[in-house]
Amino acid sequence: MRAAVLLEPRRLAVVERPVPRPGPHDVLVRLTAVGLCGSDVHFYEHGRVGDLVVTEPLVLGHEAAGVVAAVGDAVDAARVGQRVAVEPQRPCRRCRYCLTGAYNRCRSMEFCSAPPVDGAFAEYLVVPADFAHPIPDPMSDAAAALLEPLCVGIAAVRKAGVTAGSTVLVAGAGPIGILTAAAARAFGATAVVVADPLAERRAVAARHGATRTIDPATDRLADEAVDAFVDASGAPAAIDAGLHALKAGGAAVLVGMGAPRIDLDLFLVQSRELRLEGLFRYVDTWPAAIALVGAGMVELDSLVSDTFGLDGLDEAMRRNGDADVVKLVIDPRR
């Protein structure tokens, strides 16, 4: 099979590799669409994300969808030909985190595109059978791939306690921020404010769940304005403003990757009894994401700005930060 491999920062090559073989409880997925994530671009530019360091050639990509091409010995052969969205995690299933339902915290997790585990910018990928989620026929391949960033948004609003009547602030209108806003609306939030400095991004957010958008350079919410705050920017100033916008007892969930350390108004957190939490991936979110998209409560296809083949991955990496780009998708069949 063909696979796009990161050899070193800003250097990709499309190479031939053996098609992987599924284990007994796995399926082999022929990939049809793979979204380009900001973390992929960070690996491409810097060779690392946090303490995850690329030390040998690595296939990036984890927002994936495709068709089951083969199954392991313990998997029903009738699954061959089934269209699926990939949950890109392989937890150990034995540790205390896995056994208590927090498998995203598994310390032995193998996650697609997190070094040294190869990801999905290739023609085929082996996936645990129960993490290859069947999708309905009307769902496009690209939308199925974008279920992954939607799942981040779902995990964030769940952790923030968003429910019917909630008021929510989202900082950052990249794909994660936009889909967090969409998830918040789908969960019943009646006011969803999205802050982003780019007018183009704010316009997209307004079409995908935001009831109001603001430019953080000129606008700021009043203190104690919202029940929940989700940061999808990683910007220290945005986090500080979001914490001040929280009502007493509100929840802040930090999703964006930015500065490794920030100043924190500790008195604000203490005096308002704010709940401040990190988010690391997701648990059991694909069924909800598939249901929301299938019911028309979240729309994904219009987020796709362009599609490339594997040979165009380098161009896609370089275009990802353009103001007119929301989500770029790789079709490994091209």
Instruction: Give tens-digit pLDDT for 236-281.
Output: 999 999 999 999 999 999 999 888 889 999 999 999 999 999 999 9
Q: Per-10-residue mean pLDDT for the chain, 334 residues long?
A: 97 98 98 96 93 95 98 98 98 98 98 97 98 98 98 98 98 97 98 97 97 96 97 96 98 91 95 97 98 98 98 97 93 96
pLDDT at 259: 81
Extents of the domains making up the chain: 2-146+300-330, 152-278
**How far is CA 65 from its chain centroid?**
14
Q: Phi first, then psi: give them for residue 97, nearest 5 degrees.
A: -70, -45
End-to-end CA distance of the chain: 12
The H helix count followed by the E strand count for the chain is 10, 20
Query: Cβ distance 213 to 194 under 8 Å?
Result: yes
CATH superfamily label, 2-146+300-330? Medium-chain alcohol dehydrogenases, catalytic domain (3.90.180.10)
pLDDT at 260: 83
pLDDT at 258: 83
The DSSP-derived string for 196-245 is: -S-HHHHHHHHHTT-SEEE-TTT--PPTT-EEEEEE-S--HHHHHHHHHH
Which neighbouring-strand residues pair with 30? 67, 124
Tokens 């995850």 sit at which residue? 52
pLDDT at 255: 97
> How far apart are alpha carbons 300 and 174 in whole angstroms?
13
Write the CA distances from 225 to 49, 128, 248, 262, integer angstroms.
Answer: 33, 43, 10, 23
pLDDT at 323: 86
Q: How does the average pLDDT of the chain come out, rounded? A: 97
pLDDT at 50: 84
Give domain 152-278's CATH number out of 3.40.50.720, 3.40.50.2000, 3.40.50.2300, 3.40.50.620. 3.40.50.720
**Parallel/antiparallel/unpaired status of strands 275-278 and 246-254:** parallel
**Parallel/antiparallel/unpaired status of strands 191-195 and 212-214:** parallel
The DSSP-derived string for 1-59 is: -EEEEEEETTEEEEEE-PPP---TTEEEEEEEEEEPPHHHHHHHHHSEETTEE--S-EE
Tokens 């990709």 sit at which residue? 12
